[in-house]
Amino acid sequence: MSGRKIGEVILDLQHISLRFGGVKALTDISFDVKEHEIRAIIGPNGAGKSSMLNVINGVYHPQEGKITFHGEERAKMEPHQAAMQGISRTFQNIALFKGMSVLDNIMTGRITKMKANFLEQAIHLGRARREELAHRAKVEEVIDFLEIQHIRKTPVGRLPYGLQKRVELGRALAAEPSMLLLDEPMAGMNVEEKQDMCRFILDVNDQFGTTIVLIEHDMGVVMDISDRVVVLDYGKKIGDGTPDEVRNNEEVISAYLGVSH
Amino acid sequence: MQFFFEVLIGGLLSGVMYSFVALGFVLIYKASGVFNFAQGAMVFFAALTFVGILETGVPFWLALILAFGAMVILGIATERIVLRPMVNQPPIALFMATIGLTFLIEGLAQAMWGSSVRGLDLGIQDEPIAWIMDATDIGVSKFDLFAAGVAAVLVTALALFFQYTRVGRALRAVADDHQAALSIGIPLQTIWRIVWAVAGFVALVAGLIWGARNGVQFALTFTALKALPVLILGGFTSVPGAIVGGLIIGSTEKLAEVYLGAHVGGGIDAWFPYILALGFLLVRPEGLFGEKHIDRV
Amino acid sequence: MLYREAGQFKSSYTSDQQIFPIRQDRIGIMLLLLVAFVLVPGMADEYWLKGILIPFLVFSLAALGLNILTGYAGQLSLGSAAFMAVGAFASYNFMLRIDGMPLLVAFALGGVMAALVGIVFGLPSLRIKGFYLAVATLAAQFFIIWLLTKVSWFSNDSTSGVISAQEMEIFGYVFDSPESKYLLVLSIVTVMALMAKNMVRGAVGRAWMAVRDMDVAAEVIGIRIMHTKLLAFAVSSFYCGVAGALYAYAYIGTVEPEGFNLDLSFKILFMIIIGGVGSISGAFLGSAFIVLLPIFLDVLVQDVFAGLLPPSIASNLQLMVFGGLIIFFLIVEPHGLARLWQITKEKLRLWPFPH
């Protein structure tokens, strides 16, 4: 990999347990994420991977455990506060705003940075107008980066699946996050689309230094691009380390990858 | 204290009326996920059609059959004209369509039978039952008790229908999971037609009882709106919920009107059920008997 | 050929983000405003002004309010008329009880009161949605009308809550002729419509639509759901409130709370369904449609089918046609007349070449 340097631990999860009623989704999971790294979470269906992301950005509140982000231990936090602190994410099932254009969808990604109140916007002079233009310029950078200039004004509902995934990444990037959570960014894509998506993820990591936590099923991709991998199974952590370490971990092989792999 | 009980019992029994309408809502909601705002209009349509047919000199039993036939036709037409074309639209669009349907049905009913207020006599008097009056000094209307009896029979019949008939089982399967029901070969549209016909029948029973009590008139459609807070209390998917919710709304509304209304100028039963339901929503959004729904991300 | 974008290149984001980015649209709007402000007052007779144009504008404003809430923020309300009532009665009381209260300030304050009430009744939207919320808004409808009827202070102790709007006067000029009333209403509605357009194409509008389309995702990207929903209720109710004040002062003159009943709420809902859910121009198209339809039906019954229709059908025709049209639009064109207009424009862009 290029000149990017992996830094200190910025997110530390200690003994996280999450239950829904009587169902245990996560049991006593601990791991950390270092600045600028690409950290993968893998595991079979129902292993608790998405729940893990939901814990990180405050959609779910674990009953037990300690989360430290940028050195600060965090109490119960709501998702919009996570966004304010620089955590962005995409979803397993695309969660774009179907009634809006690509441009508007990505513009919403900058909402935490806009200051003009609704009255200023109603009059649309001064700050509101300047802001709208400044953020439009930023959003156009994201659009250029993801090579989706041609569909700017298209309603997202009309786009093919692969492009929708890209737009969703764009919306997350527009927030200029310090940490990006990607929930199966390549699910359902063909080889070419996967290669594009891989390239975007690596570029984001490389050019902007964004820390990335990603869930992915495609083992080839995971082993290729991630620095460290966490393996979950039935809500428990069964492996953690570099791709090579995980590949050779007995428990992981028997529980997940299968002996013949 | 005796006065309190009289109000309470009167309220409970008039709550049965709301339950009748709520029952129709629940049936349709369970089977098709449609929140049928037009259920009240269907009650009005049924009552007016029955009275209109009766006025032509047809005997009571035949009028009943003909009115039921009209409700079945209305149900099937609704399924064909409104629901089927909208099958892929969001629930809220279907809800708005049933608001349109409400206007259409109300207009249709009055266009066919005129807009004048009609009386309806089922042969049961709205007077206190003598022996209860003698024993406890509390007036319990014969008619209200009759209505409660009809409600009990109706609910039992529906429960048996759902539990033991083939159609009933298919209905429950559809309510559980549309896709799964389709995949094992349950004809969804037939089921919907049946359920709308059954809801039409429930509307007819409700219309007869309401019409006999308050006269067959347009105002009926407004009273029928109180079935909405009943649903919120009872849960959208629960038949027992519709009954219990109706009883709670009926009794609290009467008690509130008598004990609170007197201090603030009266008429609070116009909004009390809604505010009660609103307060309830904040505590328990799924209703007393409804199923809890968890959003997955 | 006339409606063509070719040759209009956007070289800056400023020009791409204008309120009407296409030149022909700008010219069209200018012409429309010119006609509305200059030609109409000179040409329309009293019946047209008082019976059609003023109610059209007033209802457009109310529909605009409901469209902000329902069309943009996705929160269905069946209580718009009640918020209009709050605006009307609040403006009346500000005029009545505060000496020298300027008319426009009273209207604005009426809107603010409606907005505050709207926030209170919008609170349940934080926990419930869809038809649950619709039922909750019925509570607002019935409770507010009851309160205005029962508490005689609101109507200055008149019988059954009737109020008679005071004379409209701004800087000594009295708005008493139909033309002057029309122009006043038109000015207020134009300004408020432009403001609404600015809001819905800005960050606020995007936040509303995000909450409408997918609230979980909206929260994850940093939108505060509570703030966004309540703001939608407040702004929507403000618009309805001002519409209510105009309804009382410029249209009817003498109103009672019952005038703002559930039927009126439904009527406004029908306007946005027919006009176009989630569209500013849709509010105007829908309002025009709903105001004109009964007049059209009357003509149809009295002149075209004179005596042919039995009276029971004739008197219920409106109910049936309204109901039928709602179903028709929801099935055939859920985005209403505004969408049809947009499709026409897209065709025009390509005309006379089919592709």
Domain boundary among A171, A190, A215: A171
List CB contacts (< 8 A) between A54 and chain B.
297
Q: Same domain for A260 and A153?
A: no
What is the reported pLDDT for C354?
59
Say what the ipTM of the complex is.
Answer: 0.90
Number of domains in chain C: 1
Q: Does B264 touch chain A (CB under 8 A)?
A: no
A108 touches chain C (CB under 8 A): yes
Where a domain ends, among A171, A189, A222?
Answer: A171
The reply to whether A82 and A181 lie within a common domain is yes
| Cis status of the peptide bond prior to C352, with omega within 30 of 0 | yes
Q: In this structure, are A79 and A94 located in the same domain?
A: no
Please indicate, yes or no, whether residues A79 and A61 belong to a single structural domain of this protein. yes
Residue C278 at interface with chain A, using a CB cutoff of 8 Å: yes
Maximum CA extent, chain B: 63
Q: Report if residue C267 sits inside a domain.
A: no
Q: Which two tokens stand for residue A103?
A: 């441009």
pLDDT of residue A87: 94
Instruction: Please indicate, yes or no, whether residues A123 and A252 belong to a single structural domain of this protein.
Output: no
Match 């500013």 to its residue by tokens. Answer: C280
Instruction: Give the contacts of C104 (CB within 8 A, at least 6 positions apart).
Output: C170, C188
**pLDDT tens for residues A187-214?**
888 899 999 999 999 999 999 999 999 9
Which of C150, C270, C330 lies nearest to residue B93, judging by beta carbons? C330
Question: Taking the CA atoms of chain A, what radius of gyration do you get in angstroms?
Answer: 19
Q: Which chains touch A (3 or more CB pairs under 8 A)?
A: B, C
Among residues A125, A154, A171, the one where a domain terminates is A171
Q: What is the pLDDT of residues C276-317, one digit of tens each?
A: 999 999 999 999 999 999 999 988 888 888 777 788 888 889
Q: What token pair was written down for C111?
A: 């809107």
Query: Considering its fold, how many domains does chain A have in total?
Result: 2
Does residue C234 lie within any of the structural domains?
A: yes
Query: Phi and psi dihedrals of A207, rounded to 5?
Result: -75, -40
- Does C192 reside within a domain? yes
Chain A positions in Cβ-Cβ contact with residue C210 (cut-off 8 Å): 97, 100, 108, 111
pLDDT-above-90 percentage for chain C? 70
pLDDT tier at A4 (50, 70, 90 boundaries)? low
pLDDT tier for residue A261 given thresholds of 50, 70 and 90: very low
Q: What is the DSSP string of C224-257?
A: -HHHHHHHHHHHHHHHHHHHHHHIIIIIISEE-G
Q: Which residue is closest to A60 within chain B, CA to CA?
A: B297
Report chain C's mean pLDDT, rounded to a whole number: 91
d(CA A110, CA A146) in angstroms, rounded, equals: 16
Q: A133 — contact with chain C (CB < 8 Å)?
A: yes
pLDDT computed for residue A248 by the predictor: 86
Of A11-25, B134-148, C100-114, highest mean pLDDT: C100-114
Residue C185 pLDDT: 97
- CB contact (8 A) between residue B103 and residue C326: yes
Paired residues of A9 in beta bridges = A34
- The reply to whether C218 falls in a domain is yes
Encode pLDDT of A156-191 as tens digits: 988 999 899 999 999 999 999 999 999 999 988 889
User: Does A131 share its domain with A20?
Assistant: no
In a domain, C337, yes or no: no
* Total-model pTM: 0.92
The per-residue pLDDT for A1 is: 45
Q: Cα separation of C37 and B282, whole Å?
A: 48
- Residues lower than pLDDT 70 in chain B: 290-297
SS3 A67: strand
Are A76 and A203 part of one and the same domain?
A: yes
C138 closest CB neighbour out of B35, B107, B274: B274
The C-side interface with B (CB below 8 A) comprises 76, 124, 127-128, 130-132, 134-136, 138-139, 142-143, 146, 149-150, 216, 262, 266, 269-270, 273, 312-313, 315-327, 330-331, 334
Test C124 with B278 for CB contact under 8 angstroms.
Answer: yes
A105 and A219 belong to one structural domain: no
Domain annotation for chain B: domains and CATH numbers: 2-115+142-283 (1.10.3470)
* Mean pLDDT of the A85-100 span: 92
- Residues B121-165 have pLDDT tens digits of 887 777 777 777 777 777 778 888 888 888 889 888 888 888 888
Per the structure, the complete domain to which residue C212 belongs is given by 22-261
Instruction: Return the pLDDT at B286.
Output: 75
CA distance A76 to A48: 20
Q: Is residue C32 domain-resident?
A: yes
Q: Are residues A211 and A107 part of one domain?
A: no
Which DSSP category does B292 fall into? P
- A6/B150 Cα distance (integer angstroms): 76
Same domain, A161 and A183: no
The answer to whether residues A73 and A187 belong to one domain is yes
The CATH number linked to A209 is 3.40.50.300
Q: Tell me the per-residue pLDDT of C149-203, one tens digit each, with 9 for 90 and over.
A: 999 899 998 877 899 999 999 998 999 999 999 999 999 999 999 999 999 999 9
Q: What is the DSSP letter of A57?
A: T
A138-142, A215-219, C259-263: least confidently modelled range: A215-219
Determine the structural domain holding residue A78 and report its residue range: 1-86+177-261
pLDDT at position A180, please?
A: 95
Residues A182, A160 share a domain:
no
pLDDT in tens, C111-161: 999 999 999 999 988 888 787 888 889 999 999 999 999 998 999 988 778
Q: Is the dihedral of CA C260, C265, C266, C270 positive or negative?
A: positive
Residue C350, pLDDT score: 73
pLDDT score at C6: 67
- Name the average pLDDT for chain B: 86
